Structure 1
Amino acid sequence: MFIRLEQKLVSEGKMLIKIDQFAPSSKSCSCCESKQDMPLQVRTYNCSACGLVLDRDLNAAINIRNWAIRHKFEKAPTAGTAESYASGNMLPVRVAADEAAGSLNRR
């Protein structure tokens, strides 16, 4: 399945970034990267290090996004090339998380 998806993305000038299925995306703070054990029934991530409080799935999604961005820029072009990694409207992760958390609370 991923092979076809990757081929389709490459044909459109895009790339597929894979993350290990066992990466601790929901157990790591998306703000300060500290890790803590969390049983599956706990649905809110509360960071004891920096105080971040966020829905567990949103925290994991931000961690995966951050990993993909870091991975993408590790393969950034060298100086003097004409390639660009601009990707439109990107907010700092903390701002995006705060806005998303606010939108969840307004329901």
Structure 2
Amino acid sequence: MAKSLVKTFKATLEPDRTGLGWTIIRVPRTVTEAWQARNRFRVKGGISREGDEGFAFRTSLFPTGNGDFTLLVNKRMQAGAGVALGSLARFRLEPDTE
């Protein structure tokens, strides 16, 4: 049986450290290593609060330069999922090959 490319995890929405006012999450390294992600990497998936159906999105993961990746959680995604800076959210991601 083929290994599923869909990955689920929880992450806390936090401010980025660039001073641009963005809200990000840090994607677990186990997720990006499973996909062998190297550079900017297109994904699709959903963001939700515990027990909610969630909000679907398509975006890119951005490398931090040390092997980790971040995901920008824009205002539309936050509003759609009912989360904000400091919230713990559930994410479902998979590579976007379309």
Which structure's residues are more often helix, by fraction?
Answer: 1
Whose Rg is larger? 1
**Structure 1 length as normaliser, TM-score?**
0.24
**Structure 2 length as normaliser, TM-score?**
0.25
Which structure's residues are more often strand, by fraction?
Answer: 2
Structure having greater relative contact order (Cα 8 Å, sep ≥ 6): 2
